[in-house]
Structure 1
Amino acid sequence: MKTTTQKNQKQTVLITGASGGIGYELVKLFAREGYNLVLIARNGEKLVQIAQELNQRYSIAVKVITKDLSNPASPEEIFQELQQEKISVDILVNNAGFAIYGLFNETDLNTELQMLQVNMVSLTHLTKLFLKDMVKQGYGRIMNVASTAAFQPGPLMAVYFATKAYVLSFSEAIANELEGTGVTVTTLCPGPTESGFQQRAAMEDSKIVNGKKLMNAETVARIGYTSLMEGKTVVITGIKNKILAASVRFGTRKTIAKIVRNMQETVTSDQ
């Protein structure tokens, strides 16, 4: 990992979903490297606590903005607040996202509409808002956090898998458009990761996570950070996840859906 430089001390990183999991681990990595930070999450109390910890350990500026990205107005409100304070964002990390587990005809519609807003619409909106200035200045980095779910359909998490497929496709496309501008776009595709994600999705009993040793958020964040700095376009964390993502090319979409369905089913008492 590169050492802190005078250049990056002057740069600012905006991270959504910064209060826990992969987002929080990314916050710590950027702080150690001397970047100023803008932290976005719903849990304002936790963000303030994180900011206080960072201010005590590092000579950086940390701004906290409490926003729920399921609110369509949030991206514009974040952008305008930073514009008013003349804070320029050099690196944008769209990490916020969540899932819901269950059969599509039984899951809650309002929760899924919120998921679409957070995972896709707010991510796209924030990227649109901050990208223009990055291109103008001839420098910038964007990390969009997708998932290995992006590579196949996902029965029992149908909407979540579809949102991550969007993130991957969108990010790869604009990465191509931005070649030669000085702005890079990296899509981080982790597999199941130790965090609060599974609990929020109510999927702790699914076979894909129950009793499994999951990659920890710190490792995922470090891989993502390094890949972002290297300007890589798509990054899948872990050998097993890379193999699984590549294997979808060797079966029909219907067969892959059946395999994923089996992996996602709830563990039964006789197993």
Structure 2
Amino acid sequence: MNVSLITGATSGIGESLARGLAERKHNLLLVARNEQKLQQLCRHLSGKNGIVAQYIAADLSQPGAAEQVFEESLKRRLVVNLLVNNAAIGSSGEFAKNDLHGDLKMLQLNNDSLVTLCRLFLPEMIGRRNGSIVNVGSLASFFPSPYMAVYAASKMFVRSFTQSLTEEYKPYGVHVMLFCPGLTTTNFMSTTANDNDWGKILVKGAYTQTSDQVALEMIQALDRKKTIHISGKRNALLVKMGSLFSYAMITKIFAERKRKQMGFAVSNQ
């Protein structure tokens, strides 16, 4: 059975994407941590859209979880035509004060599991000379972000890695797209690592899209076989304008702006 595999599928962009693809009659393989939510969502999507929606409960922030997802898909004899690496977490605040274990789990999820799933599912796509991979980056893929240092670095990795794969696998008929949303109305900023004063500054007054808007743009970008898409016209304009300046200048401006908003003084001593 052909399926579209979505990670981080029980909330936010992942859930909206699952609903959108189900309406287009995609059979689904949904991956997330919460088995109860996965059961409910699969039951709903299957009944409403006349498709087959399956799930694998897995915590991709844990080593070995991505391999388990792949092995289970083989046991079920599923053919993954579309892989969407959407699951990700973030953190805000001063790096030296943040939880190191939490940051390392973030790298496991945002980078290690994403790379692993690409590596495991790509050979099948190459053999069929058909398939698509979407790696979800962020506006942070384009700019260093002081006070979100590890998260921004993880998303810059996603950008570089994905754009390289895009060119490597064109000759094999495999479509690889980097999709970069900006701030989206999800629970992303509600986690312990982001729900702090530094995180609140990031979202204050920022341009925001809904998860449904972002998911629709992703589906439309897939239809057009785009290799990179920045969700939201304002976000795309911001990236274009940012390309005119050096990373050093952008990083300095970001840091000074955030410190000013926090009333945070830097000692010259």
**Which aligned pairs between 1:22-37 and structure 2 lie closer than 5 A?**
22-37=13-28
Q: CA deviation at 1:68?
A: 0.3
1:66 aligns with 2:66: no
Give the TM-score normalised by the residue count of structure 1. Answer: 0.91
Alignment CA distance shift 1:264-1:59 (3 Å): farther
Q: Is the 8 A contact 1:208 1:263 kept in 2?
A: no
Q: Residue 187 of structure 1: SS of its match in structure 2? A: strand
Structure 2 Cα separation of the partners of residues 181 and 32 of structure 1:
29
Distance 1:125 1:250 in 2: 34
TM-score by length of structure 2 reads 0.92
Matched, 1:254 2:245: no
2:228 aligns with: 234
Q: 1:116 to 1:48 in 2, by over 3 A?
A: same
Contact 1:39/1:62 (8 A) holds in 2: yes
Name the structure 2 match of 1:207: 201
Structure 2 unaligned blocks of 5 or more:
264-269
**Quick one: percent identity of the two aligned structures?**
35
- Counterpart of 1:156 in structure 2: which amino acid? Y
2:218 and 2:30 map into 1 onto residues whose CA distance is: 17
User: In structure 2, the residue corresponding to 1:232 is in which secondary structure?
Assistant: coil
Paired residue for 1:75, among 42, 55, 66?
A: 66
Counterparts of 1:1-271 in structure 2, within 5 Å, are 11-200=2-191, 201-203=194-196, 206-262=200-256, 264=258
Check conservation: 2:183, 2:207, Cα contact below 8 A: no
Q: 1:261: Cα distance to partner?
A: 2.4
Deviations 1:197-219 (A, max 9, x none): 11122257533312445111111
In 2, are the aligned partners of 1:34 and 1:59 still within 8 Å (CA)? yes
What amino acid is the match of 1:254?
A: A
Q: Which runs of 4+ in 1 moved over 6 A?
A: none
Q: Name the SS for the 1:195 alignment partner.
A: coil
For 1:4, the equivalent position in structure 2 comes to none
SS at match of 2:134: strand
| CA apart distance, 1:265 | 5.2
Which residues of structure 1 form unaligned runs of 5+?
Answer: 1-9
Listed one character per residue, the Cα deviations across residues 201-246 of structure 1 (whole Å, up to 9, x for unaligned) are: 2257533312445111111111111112221111011222112212
Cα distance in structure 2, aligned partners of 1:84 and 1:241 = 41
Q: What is the count of residue pairs matched by the alignment?
A: 260
Q: Is the 8 A contact 2:3 2:29 kept in 1?
A: yes
Given that 1:19 and 1:46 are in contact with CA atoms closer than 8 Å, whether structure 2 keeps it comes out as yes
Using the alignment, how far apart are the partners of 1:268 and 1:73 within structure 2?
39
Cα distance, 1:263–1:225 mapped onto 2, change above 3 Å: farther
